[in-house]
Structure 1
């Protein structure tokens, strides 16, 4: 089971966090501080697995972001690397060559993609087409809601004149 997911920039800024195990806010801050220090200082030729507090942290760097997932000790590291790559491929397909700014300004969409892939720390959807279809449906719902809100606000504005 995946305990948590972190996306950290090369400068140590947290871009996305998703916690599947209960951590207090103080513990979360400490975990982020510790792991960003460990991962950012590792050389590029070292392996992408780190033993940490009796758990395994699997990470992969894509451009200026480190995608990190903390798993149980007995989980398969290569499977977690594949989950990270799967997540990045879907983000890449959705945003069209995803970059750090896409995640900063559209973090809610990145969370939605992650929620479609992982539920309670377990892989739920491995099909990129299915995830893309679900995201497109969500985007159309959001657009419909915006249009309805806009038309309602126009009606209210006309009624109050």
Structure 2
């Protein structure tokens, strides 16, 4: 099971977090500080697995972002690396070469893609095509809602 997902940049700023296990806000802050320090201090030639508090943290650096997932001690690290890679590929496909600014300004899309990929800390959907189709359907629903809200706003203005 994946306990949490953390995306941060090389300076240690958190860009996205998703928690699948219960942590208080104070504990979340402590976990983020602790893991960010551990991961950022590791050399690029070291392995991408860290044992931490009886769990394993699997991370991978893509450009200027670190994608980290915390898993149980007996879970497969390589499968988790594959899930991270799968998520990055989906972000790349959606944002056409994802960068940190895409995650800052469109964080809700990054969360939606992650939610389509993982459910309660487990891999939900492995098909890139299915995830892309679901995200496109969500985008069309959002666009339809915006158009309807705009029309409703125009009708209210005319009525006044």
TM-score for both structures, normalised by structure 2: 1.00
- Say yes or no: does 1:49 pair with 2:64: no
Alignment length (residue pairs): 160
Matches within 5 A, 1:14-33: 14-33=14-33
- Say yes or no: does 1:138 pair with 2:121: no
- Say yes or no: does 1:104 pair with 2:82: no
Distance in 2 separating the partners of 1:5 and 1:158 = 47
Distance in 2 separating the partners of 1:8 and 1:52 = 18
Distance in 2 separating the partners of 1:112 and 1:140 = 14
Let me know the Cα RMSD of the aligned residues.
0.2
Deviation sequence 1:112-141 (CA, Å, 0-9, x none) = 000000000000100000000000000000
Matches within 5 A, 1:2-151: 2-151=2-151
Distance in 1 separating the partners of 2:106 and 2:150 = 21
TM-score for both structures, normalised by structure 1: 0.99
Deviation sequence 1:47-66 (CA, Å, 0-9, x none) = 00000000000000000000
Consecutive unaligned residues of structure 1, counting only runs of 5 or more, are none
Task: Measure how far apart 1:68 and its partner are.
Answer: 0.1
**Which consecutive segments of 4 or more residues in structure 1 shift more than 3 A?**
none
Task: Measure how far apart 1:11 and its partner are.
Answer: 0.3
Distance in 2 separating the partners of 1:67 and 1:9 = 9
Distance in 2 separating the partners of 1:131 and 1:154 = 35
